[in-house]
Amino acid sequence: MASSAGPEIERLIALLAKLPGLGPRSARRAALMLLKRREQLLGPLAQALAEAAAKVTTCATCGALDTTDPCAICADPRRDGALLCVVEEVGALWAMERASAFRGRYHVLGGLLSALDGVGPDALRIAALAARASDEAVREVILALPATVDGQTTSHYLADRLASAGVAVTMLARGVPVGGELDWLDDGTIAQAMRARRPA
């Protein structure tokens, strides 16, 4: 594509286009919006980006992102250290926190096992998980991984790997989503929900 703006602006557009959900066209629109609203938007955004780049770090214990290491969740004495929730990425941790349904601690794997993409156990934070799970304070490891082929493969691998750690290993239930109409669900979800039924 022929460049129509100066090199600084083209560089801004090229970087924005690397963000998830933004293609070249929407990156161009976003850049234009930022440049039009330099004081309200571009300045504060640049400052927030610089602060995040300088301060945000990965928690060496759980793999979450925070400005402190250990992160606020690992350091919070009110969180239940007996419960360890395993998630694929930090985004899933944030989703769990938004739901306010879990008061234990987390372990971020950093991906899923994938034969197709050549991701093996050593590429993920699995050895660190096994070490944490064998800590006598941990009672239950909850596998909160995606309901995909790679997610299930990873869950089964982890259940095997943790079998000797002396902890209960559980998985999130699969089934009918809140507000879900049965005739809109796919066959796999209905079959899972039937298998996972419980006393009413």
**Residue ranges in contact with Zn ion by CB under 5 A:** 59, 61-62, 64, 70-71, 74
Burial of 162 (0-12, 13-18, 19+ CB in 10 A): buried
Minimum CB distance to Zn ion, residue 135 (Å): 14
Which CB atom, from 27 or from 62, has the smaller least distance to Zn ion?
62
Three-class SS state of 161: helix
* 61/155 with CB nearer Zn ion: 61
State which residue, 68 or 148, has the beta carbon closest to Zn ion.
Answer: 68
CB closer to Zn ion out of 28 and 132: 132
Q: Which residues contact 31 (CB under 8 A, 6 or more apart)?
A: 9, 12, 13, 16
Bond prior to 44 in cis (omega within 30° of 0): no
Query: Least distance (Å) from Zn ion to the CB of residue 59?
Result: 3
* Nearer Cβ to Zn ion (31/92): 92
DSSP states of 24-69: HHHHHHHHHHHHHTIIIIIHHHHHHHHHHHHH-EE-TTT--EESSS
173 neighbors 196 (Cβ within 8 angstroms): yes
C-beta closer to Zn ion: residue 71 or 138 = 71
> How many other CB atoms sit within 10 Å of the CB of residue 139?
15
Q: How far out from the chain centre does Cα 59 lie? A: 14
Q: How far is the CB of 93 from Zn ion (least distance, A)?
A: 9
**Rounded least distance, CB 73 to Zn ion, Å:** 5
